Amino acid sequence: MTTVRLVSPVAGVVRALADLPDAVFAQEMVGPGLAVEPDRVGRQDVLAPCDGVVGALHPHAFALELDDGRGVLVHVGIDTVTLRGSGFVLHVDRGQHVRAGDRVLTWSPVDVAAAGLVTACPVVALQGEAADLVRLVADGDRVTAGTPLLDWSAG
């Protein structure tokens, strides 16, 4: 059984997906995981939560494709697609291999909050099973970028 450790893409406070004001994440429609409410800073790097190849890539979200076919989504804020990339800077290209902790993009949680949007960053095991995830942190825990969040096992 292969286990992938997912680390926090940002510094902040851990929250349950169920607490997010977005049914797709709250009901785990795309997969289980958790969210990190980022520190309210003017500029913050968002890091790769694990090793993988950048699949889907948008200014506000990215998915990593793992060697074994699994995928991990990091969504930077909720409804941030409405910003059309404004305030987000990408540092990688689609198809690029990244390692856990590599900088993927930079954004401003302060600016996103000022736009009236939720800044929580879901980290989702795409099409995963909740039973295959082991949480390494509890809701309300403060984490730094790179802190282990989840272990995802698959056969």
Question: Residue 65: beta bridge partners?
Answer: 53, 71
DSSP assignment string, the chain: -EEEEEE-SSSEEEE-GGGSS-HHHHTTSS--EEEEEE---S-EEEE-SSSEEEEEEETTEEEEE-TTS-EEEEE-SSSGGGGTTTT-EE-S-TT-EE-TT-EEEEE-HHHHHHTT----EEEEEET--GGGEEESS-TT-EE-TT-EEEEEEE-
Long-range contacts of 108-111 (CB under 8 A, 24+ apart): 108/41, 108/42, 108/43, 108/44, 109/38, 109/39, 109/40, 109/41, 109/44, 109/77, 110/40, 110/41, 110/42, 111/42, 111/87
Tens digit of each residue's pLDDT, the chain (155 residues): 699 999 999 999 999 999 999 999 999 999 999 999 999 989 999 999 999 999 999 999 999 999 999 999 999 999 999 999 999 999 999 999 999 999 999 999 999 999 999 999 999 999 899 999 999 999 999 999 999 999 999 85
| pTM exceeding the 0.95 threshold for the entire prediction | yes
Pick among 3.40.640.10, 1.20.1070.10, 3.40.605.10, 2.70.70.10: CATH of 10-131: 2.70.70.10
Tokens 């309300």 locate to 140
State the Cα–Cα distance between residues 92 and 136, nearest whole angstrom. 28
Catalytic residues: 75
Per-domain boundaries in the chain = 10-131
Q: Give the distance between the most distant pair of CA atoms in the chain.
A: 44
